[in-house]
Structure 1
Amino acid sequence: MSLADEVDVFCGQLRARQVQEPLLTAKRTAYLMRLLTTTKRHGDAQALLDDVRSWGTKIQMAKPSELAIGNIIRRVLHIIREEAQQELEAAPPEVPGGGTESTVRAKRQGLLSKALQHPSLTAARALSLHNLLDFSLPPYSPTSAEAAAVAEAVSKQTPSIPETPGPGIVNDALSDTGRRRKSSRSGPVWQGKSAVIEQLNELIDELDEIAVAIAQQAHEHIHANEVILTFGVSETTLLFLKEAGKKRSFQVIVAEAAPGYGGHSMAAELAKAGLHTTAIADSAIFALMARVNKVVLGARALLANGGIMAETGTQLVALAAKRHAVPLVVLVGLYKLSPLFPHDPTVTFNDFKSPADIIDFDVMAEPLEPDLAEASTSSSALMTHSQMTDTQSTDGADLSNIPREAVSATAASSAPEVHVLNPAFDYVPPELISLFVTDTGGYTPSYVYRLLSEYYAREDYGLSKELMDALVR
């Protein structure tokens, strides 16, 4: 498929919520950016920057709440800017008089050499090894016999050249001409694209190894006989605890994370790995926090102020840990690092799931059943005896002929106005977090601003005006 088809398919999957994992989203975005760089022609770095920003904005608008898309786009833009800057620094600097510094230096050396070779200077100096090249020697003129011998040797060694070119020479000339015409039509290609493509390949490989890189640091943060509490299910947290369990003996308490109850599957996987695991209800988190030595959680996004977006219920765990002075360690890959702030009133970072996860629709319909029965009775009483005789069955009145307007009006008048909200994420402020464990090491929340300057350019924080308009609610 072409680039446009690939982007359209991916955007459709994002809108349909078929792609939910941030890591998978980041990989697909990086792959599309590599496809864009390799398949399209760009004359300079600015053309590539504009193209990446345009296509990246289109992907981000398909799902504005998925911050990993914008993070990868900004990372690619930063790679292009760095390569363009290195290319600019490697080029010889221009001088005010025109030309480069090397050409001006060569001209100056040539003028100095000519000045030293002037007869007025060379005649006054004695011949030595230091000024041997400054003296002009008489040109060498071969004798007639030597010239004839050289001409005869050259004539014997020089092959004869046909006066008319053969078909092979003509075809080569035509192919060279066609290539020159094709290159002139397509225009120049930026020489730094090869380095950008190489760094994009490294970025994709880095995304594949992020979970392993974080898990390798488990022995530095988890010690023997500790009690670790985690919340819900997280693939990164699961690998982290499994890696620590290979050399350390500790206990894990897993909160079930209602209403999704991902903690049940998390506890089952940890138990299969041989770890001492206990699953608890969310209401027991505060009561058991006094026995916990460390809280280890995953995150959906790492924001610019050091706060995180995580699964709903994470803030409850963070507040309980803060109250009992328990360290809170967050496992997060740097592809989730976003330059956006949570207090921006024009941007929303949350999403909402189906209310069916919180309350069953059958339970919501139970208060309406008496009203529906009353409406059915009142409607059937309005029917004449002849109508009842025609439509009555052996078990009683047939409710199929009850006017719908009567039932709906009665039900609507007595229906409870209940708004069911099921947010997908919680925001945890940086003051509740002790440490971030990333694929490049551990950092405190106050160090996040340094990471932003290393991975993103400030001019790329806002991808485009169209994207900001799409984020406005």
Structure 2
Amino acid sequence: MARVPIDVETEIDRFCNSIKQDTYTRSVDIALATVYIFKKLIGESKWSNASELIALIRSQAHRLNQGQPVDSITFNITRRILKLIREVSGRIIHGKNEGSDISLTLQAVLNDRTATSTINDDDNNNNNKTEENFQPKKQQIQSNISNSIPIINVEDEVSVQRLKPELMDDLNWYSSEIELSVKNLSQQALAHIHANELILTLGYSYTVEQFFKYASSKKRQFHVFILEHAPFFTGHKMAINLSQLNIPVTVVTDSAVFAIMARVNKIVIGTRSLLANGGLTAKSGTYNLALAAKNYNVPLLVCAPTYKFSPTYLPSFDPVMCNSFPSPENILSYESIFQSSLDIIVPMHDYVPPELVTLIIGSGMGNAPSYVYRIVSELYSAEDNDLERLQKESLR
């Protein structure tokens, strides 16, 4: 396997330390930093073909995701880059995307059936044709089918000289897509925010802030209720930022969510990760918010850029692994007389099942939660869905 250069090792360690210290304040920064590290890894490491490159990236996936849950953005970016490598390899060998292999294979089968049916009709109409005349045609058809079915595992055939330039171009394009993802998502705000609506959100989310900002810039009048998200109180930051944009805001305690739900027109929230079944992991308190919305039939809209779509299913691993547990200092100080006799658990995130979600607003358009699995299958390759297993094994 190819070795990782020392400067890339240093960059990976710096990235992991920044994650542990919560240096990144926006999820888009984590996504861009991950792409940058992989571009550096691909550009400076020594590898001879696409198979070696895939093995190299997979070997570094659990290192980059160290200290993060298995449904993290880092894993999503890793899977997407692995899919890009396979697509570029298929494009170099066959002159098309690898995803079109199945359709071409099916087309070959259909052509086989059509040709065979034509031959059988000719034999029935012309009884004087012999079996010897039929066999060459059948052999020719089978030969055409075998030639038309492309080779799917082409990674071993693509050299570094052919793969690296095209792959780096695709990675640059992917970085630009990530940078514009929040902007493209926020431009859908006018389709979901209507005049004089009361909109509820939870805590602070950069994506949701830009969503509201775009609607306000287009002179759309609305009022935002913000749950303060105790004990972290990130809702105060959201209230300050929106008020500076002249958007009317009201900060509400988390315990009052059920009382105010009857007045709310819709809920707009962000998410940390969107799972393959349409469920999501979001800030703690989101599950209670979703239950109250379901009781009052209030639509729950989730803003999720593409890099937050994860092929992970919650039942496939320990639910603790998709959560984070910070210090309970904000709830009970270490000097408290009760500290020695209590175990205090402070989960950072809730899991919200898909039946409580109304609409997923992505970078392209809104989709129902039931359609997420289709988007995930287009973004990632199925053979890369076991990255969380590698992380589990590394922790043993």
TM-score range, shorter chain: 0.7 to 0.9
> For residue 175 of structure 2, what is the amino acid of its counterpart?
I
Give 1:325 shift: 0.0
Contact 2:71 2:310 (8 Å CA) reproduced? no
Once residues 381 and 370 of structure 2 are traced to their aligned partners in structure 1, the CA distance between those partners, rounded to angstroms, is: 19
Q: Given the alignment, which residue of 346, 356, 371 partners 1:422?
A: 346
Per-residue deviation, 1:20 = 5.8
Aligned partner letter, 1:58: R
Alpha-carbon offset, residue 290 of structure 1: 0.5
**1:267 maps to 2:239:** yes
Secondary structure, in 3 states, of the residue corresponding to 1:239? helix
Counterpart of 1:359 (choices 332, 335, 344) is 332
Cα offsets for 1:138-195 (capped at 9, x unmatched): xxxxxxxxxxxxxxxxxxxxxxxxxxxxxxxxxxxxxxxxxxxxxxxxxx63402211
- Cα pair 2:70 2:388 within 8 Å, conserved: no
Measured against aligned partners, the alpha-carbon deviations of 1:255-297 in whole angstroms (never above 9, x if no partner) come to 1111111111211211111111111111111111001110000
- TM-score, scaled to structure 2: 0.78
Segments of 5+ residues of structure 1 without an aligned counterpart are 92-187, 368-414
Contact 2:199–2:264, Cα closer than 8 Å, also in 1: yes
Please give the per-residue CA displacement for 1:3-31, whole angstroms capped at 9, x wherever unaligned. 12211222233344444643222111100
1:7 maps onto 2:12 in alignment: yes
The question of whether the paired residues in 2 share the 8 Å contact of 1:12 and 1:62 is answered with no
Of residues 19, 25, 28, the one that matches 1:23 is: 28
TM-score (norm 1): 0.66
- Which residues of 2 match residues 187-226 of structure 1 at below 5 A? 189-226=160-197
Q: Does 1:280 align with 2:256?
A: no
Q: Which amino acid aligns with 1:461?
A: N
Question: What SS does the corresponding residue of 1:422 show, helix, strand or coil?
Answer: coil
- 1:229-275 CA-to-partner distances (Å, cap 9, x unmatched) read 11111111111111112221111111111111111121121111111
Residue 94 of structure 2: aligned partner: 89
Measure the CA separation in 2 of the matches of 1:82 and 1:275.
45
Instruction: Name structure 2 gaps, 5 residues minimum.
Output: 1-5, 97-158
CA contact (8 A) 1:65 1:351 kept: no
Shift of 1:352: 0.3
Partner SS state of residue 220, structure 1: helix
Q: Trace 1:28-107 onto structure 2 (pairs within 5 A).
A: 28-65=33-70, 67-90=72-95
Query: Aligned to 1:259, what secondary structure does the other structure show?
Result: coil
Whole-Å separation in 1 of the counterparts to 2:93 and 2:62:
27
- For the pair 1:253 / 2:177, whether they are aligned, the reply is no
Paired-residue identity, %: 37
Residue in 2 aligned with 1:294? 266
Q: Which residue of 2 aligns with 1:228?
A: 199
Alpha-carbon distance between aligned partners in 2 of 1:433 and 1:39, rounded to the nearest angstrom: 43
Q: How do 1:66-465 residues align onto structure 2 when only pairs under 5 Å count?
A: 67-90=72-95, 189-246=160-217, 247-346=219-318, 348-362=321-335, 364-365=336-337, 417-463=341-387
Cα drift, residue 44 of structure 1: 1.8
Structure 1 vs Structure 2 CA RMSD? 2.1
The number of residues matched between the two structures is 328
What displacement does 1:424 show?
Answer: 0.6
The structure-2 alpha-carbon separation of the partners of 1:451 and 1:54, relative to structure 1 and needing over 3 Å to count, comes to same
Mapped partners of 2:270, 2:95: distance in 1 = 42
Pick the structure with greater CA Rg: 1
Contact residue 239 and residue 249 of structure 2 kept, 8 A = yes
Deviation at 1:216, TM superposition (A): 0.8
User: How far has the Cα of 1:464 moved from its partner?
Assistant: 7.2
